[in-house]
A and B are shown apart, each in its own frame.
Chain A
Amino acid sequence: MPDAFNSLLHGFSIALTPLNLLWGFIGVTLGTFIGVLPGVGPALTVAMLMPLTIKLDPTGALIMFAGIYYGAMYGGSTTTILLNTPGESASIATALEGNLMAKKGRAGPALATSAIGSFVAGTIATILVTLLAPIVVELALKFGPAEYFALMIFAFTTVAAVIGSSTVRGLTSLFLGLLLGVVGIDSQTGRSRFAFGVPELLDGIDVVVLAVGLFAVGEALYVAAYSSRLEEKLEQLKGSLWMSKEDWQRSWPAWLRATAIGFPFGSIPAGGAEIPTFLSYATERKLTKHPEEFGKGAIEGVAGPEAANNASVTGALVPLLTLGIPTSATAAILLSAFQNYGIQPGPLLFVTQADLVWGLLASLYIGNVLLLILNLPLVGIWVKVLAIPRPLLYGGILVFATLGAYSLHQSVVDLMILYVFGLLGFVMRRWNIPVAPAVIGLILGPLAETQARRALAISQGDASVFITQPISASILAISFLLLIVPLIVQLVRQR
């Protein structure tokens, strides 16, 4: 334990250098600004702002990314509450009560409880990450390729089968992502696969291009086609921004409970922040002393899900940093940002890049404080951002989103692929096929393949290696059950 404390202190000495502090500050500000834009979730925000870090050293860049990641979530809650257009599925629960509070003229307290709740949950979760990460690293250092492979299969199962309304469609999305993942030069044998002689495809498909295509282009096509002609109602920010004594009393137990719900979901690779936000909403609804307010704008219904979202997103940094396994689309893009710097997250990262890891963790504490200071006083500015007319807003989003995809390799081929992914995103959105599994499949698929081959190389081709080692066997068994049980339930229900 003293080790972690000393490392963290060292981390603060890195994160608090004026330059890194500046990158963190720019990160949270830009992240909030972009995250506020309706229809732009955290994953797209990180993807869009990736080119800005081209010139930074890895530590500075990742500190800025952490700021963007957090800022985007704070910004997203503002939009959800004032506009009732959740930018990501994890904000749907917030939208339920938050927008109703805003309609009743209580937008201020709703924004305050979400911002302060995010701060409380984010800070507690960051402390837990700091304490937990070194322990997981100890464990992970004992893992061989077979265990890693099993963990990745587990992550695939949870993101595809557990999230969303249909296991079959979730898996379809995952397999599309896996298919895109094999395009290009095979890292083990140097053979090209499915590149069709296009040189740009030999390097593989970049996860940023897929994410921007699905989240920005697909979304813009969908909104243009199906809801660009609707009137939308932006709730005004009236009255006090501050929470009353009663608001505080009702909020803080919700924040703490939600942190306890959200963090475990994020830290075991159990698929994103959607489930814990709904669990927290249901918990608050059950425990509240004011059940009559639920469905009419109850403050617990905002405080809980927002805190759960932040806790689980922060918790997701544990598998990302210690195992190199992303459990959400945003984490997948962060992983690709690491890879762009030639860094492969995993247990060794804590040894080989200790400065970077602990600087990053320290910057999370700082980011949370910066956001708390920035977000509430500046809420007037964010509200103005929300008032930008839709045509200009989406024009701007696409200008910056396509820039993010183009500036990676300055390639027209990337722009063509981007448009194809946009069409795919439109179809997936219209027919309710989740997109996050595809993004995670694209980046995690090749890693899983590599681990499987390493495991087989060690066992000299004996495929039973995955089920004869206890850890790998039990993880695979759990994954199998998670996958198969919902399908059986569905089949039985149809009878």
Chain B
Amino acid sequence: MRYKRAELILSLAILFLGIAVAIGTSQLSSAGGYARIGPNVAPMIISGGLILLGAWLSYEALSGGWRNAVPDDPETRGEHSFQASAFVWVSAGLIAQIFLIHSAGFVLAQAALFLCVARGFGSGKFVRDFAIGLVLGLGVFLFFVKFLNVNLPAGWLQPLLGGAGI
């Protein structure tokens, strides 16, 4: 039997997600008050739907692949092969931002994000990219804090930027 592994894994993931929701739902109250249907009914319907869809997708994956899917070969899609380093750099930028935003502050977090994403898209000019990211982050920070009166975390730059800090 011909089957596509990635598609089968995704199909089973949907199926198991449906089962997990069903298990989680069994712990929800069924008391619905006036409406007679409790908070558990919608999740029950959703879990049923996910299980059905997961089963259907698995069947498609096992019988020649998902219908009308995009070609697996990137060349036929007009793209190049999967660049792991690009994917990792963009991810690294987003994760760095999560860790930095409440410690180093908004401006530095956005600069780090900008630097990593630019690197992921093939830029080699670290200093230039970091500088652009810094200027962008600073511009947004000042606009939000001074103009919109929305506080963004200043972090390590607090002594320079003053006032706003978390």
Measured between alpha carbons, how far is A319 from B37 in the docked complex, in Å? 28
Q: In the complex, are the beta carbons of A454 and B82 less than 8 A apart?
A: no
Looking at A5-13, A185-193, A234-242, A307-315, the stretch in contact with chain B turns out to be A185-193
**In the complex with contacts A217-B94, A403-B110, A457-B36, A396-B50 CB distance below 8 A:** no
Q: Are B102 and A412 in contact (CB under 8 A)?
A: yes
User: Total number of A-B contacts with CB less than 8 angstroms?
Assistant: 208
0/1 string, B31-75, CB within 8 A of A gives 1: 111111111001100100110011011001000001111100010
Q: Which listed residue, A165, A172, A230, A454, touches B14 by the CB 8 Å rule?
A: A172
CB within 8 A of B33: which of A166, A189, A389, A390?
A189
Q: Output the nearest chain A residue to B39 by Cβ-Cβ distance.
A: A186
Stretch from A113-121, A283-291, A445-453 contacting the other chain = A445-453
- Note all chain A residues with C-beta closer than 8 A to B129: 391-392, 395
Partner of B117 from A220, A389, A419, A457 at Cβ < 8 Å: A220
CB <8 Å contact, A454 and B35: yes
Number of residues on chain B facing chain A (CB within 8 A): 78
Question: A115 to B31, alpha carbons, bound, how many Å?
Answer: 55
Q: Is A55 an interface residue (CB 8 A)?
A: yes
Distance, CA A255 to CA B83, complexed state (A) = 43
What's the Cα separation between A120 and B101 when bound, in Å?
46
- For A445, list chain B residues within 8 Å (CB): 42
Contacts of B150 in A (CB 8 A): 51, 54, 407
Kindly identify, within residues 206 to 250 of chain A, every residue whose CB is under 8 Å from any CB belonging to chain B. Answer: 217, 220-221, 223-230
Asked if B28 is at the interface of the complex by the 8 Å CB criterion, the answer is yes
> Cβ of A391 and Cβ of B118 under 8 Å apart?
yes
A383 within 8 A of B: no
Contact with A along B16-39 (1 / 0, CB 8 A): 010001001000110111111111
CB of A341 closer than 8 Å to a CB of B: no
Chain A residues with Cβ below 8 Å from B91 are 221, 419
The residue of chain A having its C-beta at the shortest distance from the C-beta of B4 within the complex is A431
Q: Contact between A419 and B118 (Cβ–Cβ < 8 Å)?
A: no
Task: Decide if B161 is an interface residue (CB 8 Å cutoff).
Answer: no
The residue that B39 contacts in the complex, of A188, A217, A229, with Cβ under 8 A, is A188
List residues of chain A with CB within 8 A of the CB of B166: 410
Which B residue's beta carbon lies closest to that of A170? Answer: B53
Contact, CB under 8 Å: A189 / B43: no
Q: Mark B74-108, 1 if CB is under 8 A from A, else 0.
A: 10011110111011011101110110011000000
On chain A, the residues within 8 Å of B158 by CB distance are none
Chain B residues with CB under 8 Å of A4's CB are none
Residues of A within 8 A of B66 (CB): 166, 168-169, 431-432
Given A217-B94, A403-B110: A394 touches B46 (CB 8 Å cut-off): no
Asked if A427 is at the interface of the complex by the 8 Å CB criterion, the answer is yes
Interface stretch (choices A102-110, A175-183, A324-332): A175-183
Which residue, B6, B32, B39, B57, has most C-beta atoms of chain A within 10 A? B39
The 8 Å CB contact of B148, one of A52, A182, A453, is A52
How far, in whole Å, are A489 and B37 apart by their CA atoms in the complex? 35
- Tell yes or no: A456 within 8 A of B by CB: yes
A291 to chain B, nearest CB (A): 27
Q: Which of B21, B35, B53 contacts A457 (CB 8 A)?
A: B35
Within 8 A of A (CB), among B117-142: 117-123, 129, 132-133, 136-137, 140
Is A422's beta carbon under 8 Å from chain B?
Answer: yes
Rounded to whole angstroms, the CA-CA distance of A403 and B83 in the bound complex is 26
Q: Point out the residue from B33, B94, B101, B133 that lies within 8 Å of A188, measured CB to CB.
A: B33
Q: At the interface, is chain A mostly helix, strand, loop or mixed?
A: helix
Contact A226 B43 (CB under 8 A): no
Known contacts A169-B66, A189-B29; A391 and B94 CB within 8 A of each other: no
Contact of A390 among B101, B121, B136, B140 (CB under 8 A): B121
The reply to whether A395 and B114 form a contact with Cβ atoms under 8 Å apart is yes
Q: A392-B129, A410-B151 are in contact. Are A191 and B122 (CB under 8 A)?
A: no
CA distance A449 to B35 in the complex (A): 11
Of B38, B49, B117, the residue contacting A391 (CB under 8 A) is: B117
Task: Verify if A490 is at the interface (C-beta below 8 Å from B).
Answer: yes
Interface contact A453-B37, CB-CB below 8 Å = yes
B87: shortest Cβ distance to chain A, in Å?
A: 4
Q: Which 8 pairs from chain A and chain B are nearest by CB?
A: A391-B123, A453-B35, A461-B36, A391-B121, A391-B118, A165-B68, A224-B86, A395-B114
Selected A-B contacts with CB under 8 Å, 10 pairs:
A54-B148, A182-B42, A193-B28, A225-B82, A394-B90, A395-B115, A399-B140, A410-B166, A416-B98, A418-B94
Interface residues of B (CB under 8 A from A): 6-7, 10, 14, 17, 21, 24, 28-29, 31-39, 42-43, 46, 49-50, 53-54, 56-57, 60, 66-70, 74, 77-80, 82-84, 86-87, 89-91, 93-95, 97-98, 101-102, 110, 113-115, 117-123, 129, 132-133, 136-137, 140, 144, 148-153, 166
Task: For the A-B complex with A410-B153, A460-B36 known, give 13 more contacts whose Cβ atoms are closer than 8 Å.
Answer: A54-B150, A169-B66, A175-B50, A175-B53, A179-B50, A182-B43, A194-B43, A229-B122, A230-B80, A391-B129, A398-B90, A407-B144, A432-B69
